[in-house]
Structure 1
Amino acid sequence: MRIGVLGTGNMADALATQWVRAGHEVTIGGRDLARAAGLAARIGDGTRGGGLREAAEFGEVVLAALPYGAGAGVVRELRTALAGRTLVDCSNPVGPGFELLTEGGPSAARQLADAAPEARVVKAFNLCHEGVWRLSPPVFDGRPLAVPVCGDDEAAVARVRTLVADLGCTPFAGGGLDRAGLLEATAALFIALWVGEGADVQAIAPPLG
């Protein structure tokens, strides 16, 4: 699969690295072309670096690995390039004090969908720290990491489920894009409990017998 990555931060690095290892073709896009080229060189195996539009036009699937607050603006600029493509949002709208910044408004994923109405937006990969995505594979107590995927387009969701499985994880249906806000709120809660309270978040939802 051809994957375009918008962004050059930790999530872009972690996920792109794993997808390249799984045999996918990846182009890293950033406003800083030198940084995009540097990340592509570190990942290796034919990974290319370029501008944001180049990555958007390259990918059948495009990962928006962008901070909340920047993502919608970037996606709006790339609206025509993203038309018909699967656009994956992994951001978390969490502010100071672990505040959910979208409280009472559209989710971060919905904001991307509004910015590029012809893209097929899917929410995934937002519930774990980037370090988890660097594990090969992410398995805990013998159980592969379960990854919820939310989206309205069946073909787009199927593509993202494949990319989840290629990380060694188990994808499962999280519902339509209207449920993306629930994933973002869950992330805000988990971050607050983990960072603010030192809680063992994994122990909050033990497996059923």
Structure 2
Amino acid sequence: MRIGVLGTGNMADALATHWASAGHHVTIGGRDEAAAARLARRVGGGAASGGLRAAASGDAVLVALPFGAGADVVRELRAELVGRTLVDCSNPVGPGFRLLTEGGPSAARRLADAAPGAHVVKAFNLCHEDVWRMRPPVFGGRPLAVPVCGDDETALARVRTLVRDAGCAPVSGGGLDRAGLLEATAALFIGLWVGEGADAQAIVPPLAHAAGPG
């Protein structure tokens, strides 16, 4: 698969490295093409680099940009992104672990509005980039589960492949209208992890007990 990556930060580095190692053709794109070239060398696996438009030509395009910047960049590239799978991993979380999109569209929906011809999928937003650097992210013998939200089945199939190629297990999170729930979950979990030092995983019972007595 041809994968474009918009951005040169930690999430771009962590995820692109998995995908290049899995044999995908990765192109790193950034406004600073020198930074994109440095990241492509670090990612390895024949990763290429260039400007943002070079990365927008992938079958799947990861938007690894901060909330707010992502929609602006995607709007600039909307012509190139028609028909592409656009993967949103952003978290609209502000000071005090506040959800910045509360009362408005989710971050993923804002990308869809900015590039109406693209097929947006929300994924990879619930973990710190250091988790995505693990090879693979397995805890207690169980691969990390990654919720995926989107409306287009071809786009969802591509993202499920990318999840598996990062060593994780894809989980259906529903349509793109549920992406806001994933973003709210991230805000809650980050507040618990960072603000309280709590183990967020401990608040969820095992599946056998989740729905009460059978």
Residue by residue over 1:168-209, the C-alpha shift from the partner in whole angstroms, topping out at 9 and shown as x without a partner, is 111011000000000000000000010000011122224234
Q: 2:185 maps to what in 1?
A: 186
| Local SS of the residue matching 1:147 | strand
Q: 2:4 maps to what in 1?
A: 4
**Displacement of 1:3:** 0.2
Opposite residue 63 of structure 2, the aligned amino acid is A
Which contiguous aligned blocks of 4+ residues in structure 1 show a shift greater than 6 angstroms? none
Percent identical residues: 80
User: How far apart, in 2, do the equivalents of 1:64 and 1:110 lie?
Assistant: 13
Q: 1:26 maps to what in 2?
A: 26
Q: How does 1:3-152 map to 2 (within 5 A)?
A: 3-57=3-57, 59-152=58-151
Structure 1's unaligned 5+ residue stretches are none
User: How far apart, in 2, do the equivalents of 1:85 and 1:55 lie?
Assistant: 11
Q: 2:173 maps to what in 1?
A: 174
Matched-pair contact (CA < 8 Å) for 2:62–2:87: yes
Q: TM-score, normalised by structure 1?
A: 0.98
User: How far apart, in 1, do the equivalents of 2:43 and 2:169 lie?
Assistant: 24
Residue by residue over 1:1-31, the C-alpha shift from the partner in whole angstroms, topping out at 9 and shown as x without a partner, is 1100000000000000011111111000000
Moved more, 134-143 or 183-192: 134-143
Matched-pair contact (CA < 8 Å) for 2:149–2:178: yes
Opposite residue 142 of structure 1, the aligned amino acid is G
User: How far apart, in 2, do the equivalents of 1:91 and 1:128 lie?
Assistant: 11
Residue by residue over 1:61-116, the C-alpha shift from the partner in whole angstroms, topping out at 9 and shown as x without a partner, is 00000000100000000000000000000000001111100000000000000000
Opposite residue 32 of structure 2, the aligned amino acid is D
| Local SS of the residue matching 2:38 | helix
Q: How does 1:193-208 map to 2 (within 5 A)?
A: 193-208=192-207
User: How far apart, in 1, do the equivalents of 2:153 and 2:112 lie?
Assistant: 15
Residue by residue over 1:142-190, the C-alpha shift from the partner in whole angstroms, topping out at 9 and shown as x without a partner, is 1110011000001100110011011111101100000000000000000
Number of equivalenced pairs: 208
User: How far apart, in 2, do the equivalents of 1:42 and 1:18 lie?
Assistant: 12
Structure 2's unaligned 5+ residue stretches are 209-214
User: How far apart, in 1, do the equivalents of 2:205 and 2:9 lie?
Assistant: 32
